[in-house]
Structure 1
Amino acid sequence: MQSPRPITTSSPVPSQQDDQLPHLLSLKVMRLSRPQFTATMPIYYEANDEKKTALIEGLDSLNISDLTASHPIEGKSNGLQIRDFGLSQMLKLPSAFGNIYLGENFSTFISINNESPFSVQQVGVKIELQTSSQRFVLSDTSTTPHTALETQATYDKTISHEIKELGVHILVCSVHYTAPDGRRRHFRKFYKFQVSNPLAVKTKLNNMIDGRVFLEAQLQNVSAGPMFLERMRFEPSEHFQFEDLNQCVKDNDDSSIFGDSFIHPQDVRQYLYMLSPRNAENDRISRTTNALGKLDIVWRSYMGDLGRLQTSQLTRKAPILEDLEVQPFWVADGPVQITLERPFRLGIRVRNHSNDNMKLVLSSIKTKMGSVLLSGLGSKQLGEVRPNQSAETHIEFFPLTPGLQRVGGLRVMDLLSGYTKDIDQICDIFVLSQSK
């Protein structure tokens, strides 16, 4: 159900016409939008089942029984009724132009009325929408004009356009017709309105040492009314695959962690996505690219109007990729328990990100090791490692102090080029005290 309302409640711009003589046709431009529920001021009272007065019986009859039956309220024992929210079954037509938001469809009703006592020939209308950067032709019948418009007759047209730009928009309506004396006449009117942003989107990035990227997207409803988020989807760039971390993970439940899809004005939601390199062979490209992907958001207003917003390409400041990357990994499967004064093994993976072959040696720097010392030989030959390839080895450590401890004090050296990389901290471990 849609209802027209005059668009002239926005800021009009002075019209242009061919002369100062009164025109035979009049133009009315109205915005089409859905009606709203009529808000009522509820009357609160205390019901008395034992002794009901005529006043209480009359107030009870105001309850919206059909809405209560189709949409029961939880905790009905509290006596809460839909009328307590100020809602009614009555609809009302909008009395103002209203807000237009980015991503919504702007619908307008154009009506040309022949108010003269004469028949007007070859009536045509051209509807354009002008923004700060471009101009759209929404409809143009001036080249093939309407044959005739009799006296008191109207020529109506409905136009719909998806709003894809913020700022001031101007609707330009040009009417052409042939007067009874054969003269070709025209006039033009302008209607200005403002397009606002319904959602504020902020992002935060965390680049991990293994190439993964954690993307935090903060979404805030800055519109005047509540909205239903029909879709919140991340579309990664070609170099990444992603995992949506906004779903429940217990009991095979894949529902949203937010519970429902309603977001009220000024409410904020925080979404989290984990991006991983799509192709290991092009790992260097994914680690150095600044393009991550886009957010595609689809919502509906509280009356069901559809809106869609797609962000521009989300970018980052690409991290500097060193020629050598050193990563730890656990040798044993399952949970690892490290006990005081008991050796443990840690895997070391060294990846060559340069364009040249390397002959690598892994050694220790005992002065930088802290309370977790190397057990065994002080150096290991990793052999020749080609570009974009990696080598793995296992090192045994000996913890001397309980609690959270740093593992580090390692050095990787390329015997061919002399390139050296010191690893002061490769990971943190928690050392348990010896059991009695």
Structure 2
Amino acid sequence: MSRHQRAQSSTEGHKEPHSVSLKVLRLSRPSLAHQYPLPQSRASDALEVPTKAALSYPSNNPDDLFILSPLLTLPPAFGAAYVGESFSCTLCANNELEPCSDGGNVVTSVQISAEIVTPSLTVPLELATAVIADVDPAEVGSSLEPGKSLQKIVRHDLKEEGNHVLAVTVTYTEPCKPLDVEQQKEPGTAGTRIRTFRKLYQFIAQQCLAVRTKSGDLPPLVTADGRGGSTKARLVRYVLEAQLENMGETPICLENVVLVPKSPFKSTSLNWDMPSPVCEGRNSPILNARDVTQVAFLLEQQTGDSEGDEALRKDLARDGRAILGQLSIEWRSGMGDRGSLSTGWLTSRRR
């Protein structure tokens, strides 16, 4: 009988509305507002429409030929999440109880925990307390008066493509109704009860930058072996090319593209950042949506690394391929959001 009563009360508790609601809002940078100016009317037009009527930011000296305005707009929707960027959102727990004349209906012991489920693993997330204007951080606690809220911020670097699920669990202690107080049997818990709920938010992480690579062999360099003898050493050389395509919806600026070589290779960039006595400036390429740029690196075997030379000989003897290195890419979005991507170990073609 007691077992049946516990099951029934548990079911009724799930149907009862919670005193605390949860709101999840993604944090992202704003974008510049667009304005669509009207064409300048001619003096012979019977109906002359002022140019300022079509501007989002009217001023005394408007630039009616420029589509971007000084106004900033918030994203109208969740937007796209890209691999290599940081996913940030705020979790807001609100006390939905009505205020009482006796100062009751205070929700205590409010705790928020979150984890993100990626295609391969589940990662618990660290929560940081949000800084709210006109609120002293020392006064932010786990007790919420009616109409107050507790905000936490989570951040996670997206490293996998596919479906992601943000799971948020809220636990709190609320005052009991008079009927519930009479049913309390445990000492020290009269007048309160602990409640919890869990919500899931699903989103898809898309590929922002597509990387396609290929390698080519160069004639080896014949040098002295460095031991004072007449033996010559043949140092292998490769050229690694990579095509980078912007798969996103907004432009990005490539800040850094580096090939981290594996011993015994040395990498030399053949791109915009290579030393040049003619051009001192550095013009990082900007990729619009679906734009493609190509980068290249020269890899040369270095002498004096016996351990690396031995590993290279084993790789070439085993399958005729050499492990060259890993490609590391960093970029920024139009409003300054950072993104980074690292490839796996890149190999040469089979000999």
TM over 0.5: same fold? yes
1:13-48 CA-to-partner distances (Å, cap 9, x unmatched) read xxx996221111111011011112221223233789
- Aligned pair in 2 of structure 1 residues 177, 60: CA closer, same or farther (>3 Å)? closer
Task: Please state whether the residue corresponding to 1:183 is helix, strand or coil.
Answer: strand
Task: Answer yes or no: is the 8 Å Cα contact 1:17–1:187 preserved in 2.
Answer: no
Structure-1 separation of matches of 2:58 and 2:278: 38
Task: Please state whether the residue corresponding to 1:160 is helix, strand or coil.
Answer: strand
Task: Answer yes or no: is the 8 Å Cα contact 2:81–2:87 preserved in 1.
Answer: yes
Task: Please state whether the residue corresponding to 2:126 is helix, strand or coil.
Answer: strand
Q: Which amino acid aligns with 1:269?
A: T
Question: Quick check: 1:195 aligned with 2:219?
Answer: no
Question: Quick check: 1:278 aligned with 2:259?
Answer: no
Picking from 309, 314, 324, the partner of 2:346 is 314
Correspondence for 1:98? 79
Correspondence for 2:123? 136
Q: Which amino acid aligns with 2:202?
A: K
Task: Answer yes or no: is the 8 Å Cα contact 2:270–2:298 preserved in 1.
Answer: yes
- Aligned pair in 2 of structure 1 residues 65, 227: CA closer, same or farther (>3 Å)? farther
Q: Which amino acid aligns with 2:118?
A: T
Report percent identity of matched pairs: 34
Task: Answer yes or no: is the 8 Å Cα contact 1:232–1:295 preserved in 2.
Answer: yes
Correspondence for 2:165? 170
Q: Which moved more, 1:158-167 or 1:184-193?
A: 158-167
Task: Answer yes or no: is the 8 Å Cα contact 1:277–1:286 preserved in 2.
Answer: no
In angstroms, what is the RMSD of aligned CA positions?
A: 3.4
Structure 1 residue 316 displacement after superposition: 3.1
Task: Please state whether the residue corresponding to 1:149 is helix, strand or coil.
Answer: coil
Correspondence for 1:328? none
- Aligned pair in 2 of structure 1 residues 249, 310: CA closer, same or farther (>3 Å)? closer
Question: Quick check: 1:212 aligned with 2:248?
Answer: no
Task: Please state whether the residue corresponding to 1:286 is helix, strand or coil.
Answer: helix
- Aligned pair in 2 of structure 1 residues 304, 54: CA closer, same or farther (>3 Å)? farther
1:294-345 CA-to-partner distances (Å, cap 9, x unmatched) read 11111111111111111122123453xxxxxxxxxxxxxxxxxxxxxxxxxx
- Aligned pair in 2 of structure 1 residues 243, 17: CA closer, same or farther (>3 Å)? farther
In the superposition, the TM-score normalised over structure 2's length comes to 0.71
Structure-1 separation of matches of 2:310 and 2:298: 18
- Aligned pair in 2 of structure 1 residues 26, 44: CA closer, same or farther (>3 Å)? same
Q: What is the correspondence of 1:257-406 to structure 2 with a 5 Å cutoff?
A: 259-279=283-303, 282=306, 283=309, 285-286=311-312, 288=316, 290-319=322-351
Structure exhibiting the larger radius of gyration computed from Cα positions:
1
- Aligned pair in 2 of structure 1 residues 275, 124: CA closer, same or farther (>3 Å)? same
Structure-2 separation of matches of 1:202 and 1:154: 48
Task: Answer yes or no: is the 8 Å Cα contact 1:166–1:195 preserved in 2.
Answer: yes
Structure 1 residue 252 displacement after superposition: 3.1
In the superposition, the TM-score normalised over structure 1's length comes to 0.58
Q: Which amino acid aligns with 1:244?
A: S
Task: Answer yes or no: is the 8 Å Cα contact 1:18–1:187 preserved in 2.
Answer: no
Structure 1 residue 55 displacement after superposition: 4.8
- Aligned pair in 2 of structure 1 residues 137, 244: CA closer, same or farther (>3 Å)? same
Correspondence for 2:232? none
Structure-2 separation of matches of 1:277 and 1:212: 6
1:255-276 CA-to-partner distances (Å, cap 9, x unmatched) read 56xx542111111111111100
- The runs of at least 4 aligned residues of structure 1 exceeding 6 Å deviation read 51-54, 60-66
Correspondence for 1:368? none
Query: Relative contact order (C-alpha < 8 Å, sep 6+): which is higher?
Result: 2
Task: Answer yes or no: is the 8 Å Cα contact 1:17–1:186 preserved in 2.
Answer: no
Correspondence for 2:279? 253
Structure 1 stretches of 5 or more lacking a match? 1-15, 69-80, 320-436
Q: What is the correspondence of 1:26-37 to structure 2 with a 5 Å cutoff?
A: 26-37=21-32
Structure-1 separation of matches of 2:54 and 2:76: 30
Q: Which amino acid aligns with 1:135?
A: T
Correspondence for 2:67? 86
Task: Please state whether the residue corresponding to 2:202 is helix, strand or coil.
Answer: strand
- Aligned pair in 2 of structure 1 residues 285, 32: CA closer, same or farther (>3 Å)? same
Structure-2 separation of matches of 1:284 and 1:229: 36
Question: Quick check: 1:159 aligned with 2:169?
Answer: no
Structure-2 separation of matches of 1:234 and 1:98: 31
Q: Which amino acid aligns with 1:40?
A: Q
Correspondence for 2:188? none
1:396-418 CA-to-partner distances (Å, cap 9, x unmatched) read xxxxxxxxxxxxxxxxxxxxxxx
Structure 1 residue 281 displacement after superposition: 6.1
Structure-1 separation of matches of 2:58 and 2:275: 39
Higher helix share: 2
Higher strand share: 1
- Aligned pair in 2 of structure 1 residues 239, 189: CA closer, same or farther (>3 Å)? same
- Aligned pair in 2 of structure 1 residues 161, 18: CA closer, same or farther (>3 Å)? farther
- Aligned pair in 2 of structure 1 residues 58, 101: CA closer, same or farther (>3 Å)? closer
Task: Answer yes or no: is the 8 Å Cα contact 1:294–1:314 preserved in 2.
Answer: yes
Q: Which amino acid aligns with 1:223?
A: G
